Chain A
Amino acid sequence: MSDFWLHPSLLLLLGAAILPLLPRAVKKGWLLLVPIVVFARVATMPEGVFGTVEFLEWTLTFGRIDALSRVFAYIMSLMAIIGTLYGLKVDDDGQHIAAWTYVAGSLGVIFAGDLLALFLFWELMAFSSVFLIWARRTPKALGAGFRYLLVHTVSGLALLAGIVLVGMARNGDYSFTAFDVHHPDLAMWLILGGFILNAAVPPLHAWLPDAYGEGTFNGSVFLSAFTTKTAVYALARGFPGMEILIVLGVIMALYGVVYAVLENDCRRLLAYHIISQVGYMVAGVGLGTQMAINGTVAHAFAHILYKGLLFMGCGSVLFMTGQSKFTELGGLYKKMPWTFVFTMIGGLSISAFPLFSGFVSKSMIIAAGFEDHKLWVGFLLTLASVGTFLHTGLKVPYFIWFGKNNCREETWRRAADPGWNMIAAMAIASFLCIFIGVYTPFLYRMLPYPVDYDPYTSYHISETMLLLCFTGVGFFLLLKKLEPTPTISIDLDWPYRMAGRAFYWLARKPIQAIDNAWGELYRTLGLVGLMRLALVAAVFDNRVIDGIVDGVGAKVRACGARVRGLQRGSLQENLTFAFATAAALIVAYLIAF
């Protein structure tokens, strides 16, 4: 490579690597500075192809900047500023390093011009983001993190297999362009499978609420923004016009809504609404028209902001009160009024009220469905919008800030609006949600295709207001039915959670059975002549065999406990740090040579 091209991910990785070396006094400044520098770098990059590297017999492209990659990178680096500001006071370098490495992975995927570079950053995302879940340091979070990693490792393997097959079929050409969606082959299905798992398309979605509900209060803000939207980018790049995505997208949009009715944990409810909202985008990719792709990109842009805002609102409640379940909250408007206002702005944005961001983005996808003469797409996505307002705009604010006060004394005492940095992060996101909704050219100018669409027609406004306001009527009519209950909902993570348990059972019960049978043998063969021998054997069994078995068992358990302890302790930070450094070195090496 002749001239040096500074990859924004490299800035983030270096920033993350330096962070733990800094004295406390300058750490906060560094946390604010690095994402701003990255954002400035992304926002001022000229279009073109940069950062091509010869590596063994492959040509890797790290910097493909065009309209599509630019707009995604723009919003993601903007969200990195807001998310880092929100978690500014978190005194845990590991989390900041994990978050930045994760964002670096996202930006790397978005700028990758070929499938090999894409895969490298794709895996970086999975392996860094899991630390945002583990950092919560609860047994539940530990389990959820392992499941998250398991699922993403499997999908990563599918993706890699697909990539290798594509490369073989194309004689070593790994460039990442739109696939021939009308003649899908095995390689394409594998790649699509890898992408749609990250987009949380049912039946490959259960990892999302499982993980995002257990992440740290600021970690889930990052999680909500990057994995699924990077997958939406990859789908929009590789599979526009793939018809099966329309069906899957509509199913997603409604699936998330149904589970949101049943959900008692506010962050899991929001996670189910990520599935629902990403459903619009997946359907938009499936429609594949210029308007639909524009709508998908616009909606991803708006979504990152309002969903981040909603997770910040509910994260503030969790951070301040230690609770995230509706059955432990209620009536908090007196204690956390500003958090309520910001969350409500997020709720109105996701519900697509006029003057809020969702109104100018979501409607593009629905309109594209109608214009493509797929009426069922338009009507079913509109039905999902009803569900969106029902939960995110009404259920979440009502049962946290109004409704029956279920707060315990301690919860009530601890509740208050959070610190300035969290308020500021929410205020910035709120401002952007409204700004996008009010001043449409800001977003529309960044879209990949020219926009011939005006959301502010009298009919569209009237349609939306009627739809949403009468949804509100339905909410208050059926308020009794929506009362939260202290339950969890079984989702498709059931098979692999239960498979683990079945394995445990298998390992325990048959061994127990053999031991019992052995003992039984002694008793039934209780002939006098054999008694002495049996006694010796029994002693041998008791002292030696059981001793060995129990000893090994105890050792394994102790080992497991120690490893588990390590994983929750400093090992995670060390690993994150080591991983970030290694990733930075690899990227630096590849770009410099």
Chain B
Amino acid sequence: MWDWHTAREGLPLILHGFGITLLATALGSLVAIVLGLVIAVLGRAPTRWVRLPLRAVVEFVRSTPVMIQLFAVWVLAPGLDPLTIGIVVLGLHYAMYTSEVYRAGIDAVPRGQWEAAVALSLPPIRTWWGVVLPQAVRKVIPALGNYVISMFKETPFLSVITVNEMVHEANQFGSDNFAYMEAFTIAAAIFLIASYPTSMLMRKLEKRLAH
């Protein structure tokens, strides 16, 4: 039976876990957003010696489950702090998806923009930073946002490598007090309260950036 007293007792611990979840999502997203951009731009490198190995890494990381990747790194690098491993692996995994998003955004910049940059003798770096990326990134912000929400919902995987994120804490509290229903209901409610308005916001943003 649902017990309000137990629920109230468990809340602070679960909220603390939520803090870790948010931290992992924020830093993991940062890795994914920056690294994805780098991969997308390098994917346009003139030499195949950059493009082909990059392609191989992207395919490899994308075709294996994030949970296995987390385990693998955790086992292979025993000295590292689990939260750090979690952030890096989640970020890396999602960078493969964000790089595809950026690639689509870059492809959507009309050829005339590149040609105008050539006609003005702009150096390549300036063409990327000043002309192409501002237009490409603007178009893909909502898609990137949706990946951030997706990553947020996958942070419970971090519990398998002992990161004390929200689901880990809920599980802990549940087993200590034999109150799994209260613990997991609270965790689920927090996920819902956090992601639903965020995805609404993304949808709004999408409409605003559309023109």
A and B held together in a complex? no
Taking Cβ atoms with an 8 Å cutoff, the residues of A that contact B are none
Taking Cβ atoms with an 8 Å cutoff, the residues of B that contact A are none
